[in-house]
Structure 1
Amino acid sequence: MSSASDSTADQAVVENSDSSKPKRRKRIPFAAQLLIGLVLGLALGYVAREWSVAWLGTALETVGTLFVQLLFLIVPFLVFTAIVASIANLRNLANAGRLVAKTLGWFAITSLIAVVIGIAIGLATNPGSGVELSSAAAAPETQGSWTDFLTGIIPTNLVDAFVNVNVLQIVFVAIVVGAAAAKLGDRAEPFLKFNASALALIQKTLWWVIRLAPIGTAALIGKSVYAYGWDLLEPLAVFSIDIYAGALIILLIVYPVLLRVFAKVSPVQFYRKTWPAIQFAFVSRSSVGTLPLAQKTVTDRLGVDRDYASFASPFGATTKMDGCAAIYPAIAAIFVAQVYGVDLAVQDYFLIAFVSVIGSAATAGLTGATVMLTLTLSTLGLPLEGVGLLLAIDPIMDMIRTATNVAGQMVVPVIVAKSEQLLDRGVYDAAPQPLDEAAAFGGDVPSQQKGEAALQPA
């Protein structure tokens, strides 16, 4: 009898012990939160526009602006510390030179594919046909030329580069500093440790901002619907459709084929795991702003080696722009040429491709692609005033462009990592972990294996 009694008592103790454990509250997955924010933003923007609810439109604009300001607040420091760390981490890879060459090579190849698709779409649809040049159209204030691009790489004042958020100059300085630190070896360790700590601090802060993304998503989408609607797209309907069609061809056909053929991985699995980052890029319109989320997706969800990803992701966020620097300027150049009645020769299309592949760093990962477009137009000798026609709808175009940019920035590391045996297929093929898992544990989830705690904050 005593044995039965003891067993019952032990069971009661276990039950009491289990009941005393705090039950973890179920959380809505981060991806679902973004989707809810997107739908809510569309609804609020529609209500504000259709019923002329001015206060709601102002609120959406204010919240959206604050979110973007928070996102960009430490972008210069994120770019600098990430690039320095990426260069330094290459020391941990025996085949660093080959990895860099392959990565830059795939950046160029995918950009070339994208610009060829853009040219083909533009020639097939004639987006500028029948569009009349508005008398109000003027050249944009921010323009690009090869001279400005080349001379603008090197800053005259380091402080100005950070104050003015000149990402291209910051990247140049970071590359030089990172290369020098790698060359110094042990003597640079204190600096590299400080840089690593600063990068972790910045990423933690940015992660807090990213956690506000559902609210920012609702505000930014609602602001766009309220401010623009579809009225501005009607006169430029063919051009608008061309940009979205070109981006979708890249996203749904080109990238999946490259993943299947060269990486031999499932494209469906890729998009299942990268969708939150792509959606965030669509709303934020910033490759650099999406960098922390995209890099964690590449390492913790797709299984790319961390040392390699720490190089590929920051460089991709500042130079890999299939949407902004390939599809968009190709179609826009054809549009402007047709509006002004300028016939483009075969060599002009080769120039468009050359500018897209070589000059994509001019976009610098921030919102908008005006500099890249003006660089293309000035190279072709086309009137820069034609850009004025496109500035009004640029925010709407920029959404799909940035989503395409970020998707490409995650595709290339997977392809290169697979070719160098730096891709963990177990992590890639595993079911995607919830993005808010780390937040639920306060950001200190111990990973039992690589990629177990998906997207935990740095």
Structure 2
Amino acid sequence: MQAQSAHKLSVHILIAMGLAIVAGAVLKGVVAPDSVFAINVIDGAFNAIGQIFIRSLQLLVIPLVFVSLVCGTSSLTDIAQLGRIGGKALGLYMLTTAAAITLAIVFALLFSPGKGVALEAGDFDVKASPSMWDVLINIMPKNPIEAMAEGNMLQVILFSVLLGIAISQSGNAGKRLNEFFEDWNTVILKLVHILVMLAPYGVFCLLTRVVYQLGLDAIAPLAKYFGTVLFALLIQLLVIYPALVTVLARANPVPFLSKMKGAWIFAFSTASSNATLPITLSTVREKLGVSNRIASFSVPLGATINMDGTAIMQGVATVFIAQVYGIDLTMTQILTVIATATLASIGTAGVPGVGLIMLTLVLQQVGLPIEGIAMIIGIDRLLDMSRTAVNITGDAAVACIVANSENEFDRETFNDPKAGED
């Protein structure tokens, strides 16, 4: 019965998405932006319901990451194992990001989305990116409560890991505290399942408003750019990740993709890896069979630093802007783009508007006009929804690979189509 209920929820969310696209497109054609209906219903009620849905997911992120990471870390008997797990996860995230941006540049050079395009650049406010030293300093929290209140994920992750290590080394006192956190973990996961029931209503309101604001006609002038990014995202999602899971985790990619469908829906509607984190973490642990100690570390880390979807956008956008301005990129510049975007995915983690800040860094490194970003801002929201689904799939794939390498991968759960449905 519970499995049926979970299946019905997924169906209801998909129906809500379809209705939202139709409703948004129809409303765009018949409702004026300054009308009473637009102000009170679309920008009022729809926006409120959508934001409540996102906040219901966001309110779980910090407690879920904190409690889950403490539980996972405190169960480690060998501290060196934590460094090994972290090193593998970090290395794989950088590898997939480099592969993603390389793939994007290849497709962009192949399809030439910027050739023959004449667009006027609007206003774009260039935000300064932090230096690498500032990033390193800011990873260490000076106040863990402040870090949690501000949603600084890297600081929360570090504090959780340190506390978990201390608990694992504290004998009987540590065992009692570990039991306390395990109980909290169970309760928070139940809360995740309760709040997920809001999903169909939240998804409908969010997506209706997005389609109404942007309109499907916003894609027309940038159709080739939009299509190139979307095609590269699909190749990363449906080819690269399944190949990595097959080769490195020695697992069938079909169950992997099938079990990620529910998380994709949330990622697409929220356009935020952090907001989708409770769903991703639950999917990785309960449906894909990754142990808690691996999932609780690699998935939050991935939600913070793994930006494969963003890297794909940067690769295509860089070539697109160069082509619009009639600039031919040299091989040295292309390699610089790949290196800069890969390193920047970690260096700018947790910075608001991270995708555009990373793109600013990339353009600066190869001497392209930063003002070119203004040409693609209009449709970035639609692409952001798609690339978030790619990002969380990368998080899940890396978790499976690391778990397999540590012999903490439950293949029976992974291959069971009904696993985690309750």
**Residue number in structure 1 paired with 2:212:** 226
CA–CA separation in structure 2 for the residues paired with 1:290 and 1:394: 19
**Residue number in structure 1 paired with 2:27:** 48
Amino acid at match of 1:284: T
**Residue number in structure 2 paired with 1:319:** 305
CA–CA separation in structure 1 for the residues paired with 2:366 and 2:132: 12
Please list, as runs of the form range in 1=range in 2, the aligned pairs for 1:36-185 lying within 5 A after superposition.
36-52=15-31, 54=38, 56-58=41-43, 59-91=45-77, 95-132=81-118, 134=120, 136-141=122-127, 143=129, 146=132, 149-154=135-140, 160-182=146-168
Q: 1:351 aligns with which of 330, 336, 339?
A: 336
CA–CA separation in structure 2 for the residues paired with 1:215 and 1:322: 29
**Residue number in structure 2 paired with 1:300:** 286
Instruction: Report the 3-state secondary structure (helix = DSSP H, G, I; strand = E; otherwise coil) of the residue aligned with 1:129.
Output: coil
Q: Which has the larger radius of gyration?
A: 1
**Residue number in structure 2 paired with 1:281:** 267
Contact residue 42 and residue 209 of structure 2 kept, 8 A: yes
Q: Compute the TM-score of the two structures, normalised by the length of structure 2.
A: 0.85
Q: 2:12 aligns with which of 10, 28, 33?
A: 33
Instruction: Report the 3-state secondary structure (helix = DSSP H, G, I; strand = E; otherwise coil) of the residue aligned with 1:235.
Output: helix
Q: CA deviation at 1:143?
A: 4.5
Q: Give the 3 Å change call, closer, same or farther, for CA 98–160 of structure 1 in structure 2.
A: closer
Percentage of matched positions with identical amino acids: 33
Q: Give the 3 Å change call, closer, same or farther, for CA 79–425 of structure 1 in structure 2.
A: closer
**Residue number in structure 1 paired with 2:276:** 290
**Residue number in structure 2 paired with 1:334:** 319
Amino acid at match of 1:126: S
Instruction: Report the 3-state secondary structure (helix = DSSP H, G, I; strand = E; otherwise coil) of the residue aligned with 1:236.
Output: helix
Contact residue 89 and residue 402 of structure 2 kept, 8 A: yes
**Residue number in structure 1 paired with 2:360:** 374
Q: Give the 3 Å change call, closer, same or farther, for CA 246–90 of structure 1 in structure 2.
A: farther
Higher mean C-alpha displacement, 267-276 vs 349-358: 349-358
Q: CA deviation at 1:126?
A: 2.8
CA–CA separation in structure 2 for the residues paired with 1:149 and 1:94: 25
Please list, as runs of the form range in 1=range in 2, the aligned pairs for 1:403-414 lying within 5 A after superposition.
403-414=389-400
CA–CA separation in structure 2 for the residues paired with 1:267 and 1:367: 32
Q: CA RMSD in A?
A: 3.2
Q: Deviations over 1:351-406 (max 9, x none)?
A: 22223333323344988622332333344444433323332222101111100011
CA–CA separation in structure 2 for the residues paired with 1:169 and 1:420: 26
CA–CA separation in structure 2 for the residues paired with 1:198 and 1:367: 32
Q: Give the 3 Å change call, closer, same or farther, for CA 160–264 of structure 1 in structure 2.
A: closer
List alignment gaps of at least 5 residues for structure 2. 32-36
Q: CA deviation at 1:302?
A: 1.7
Q: CA deviation at 1:142?
A: 6.8
Pairs aligned (count)? 413
CA–CA separation in structure 1 for the residues paired with 2:145 and 2:203: 32
Amino acid at match of 1:356: A
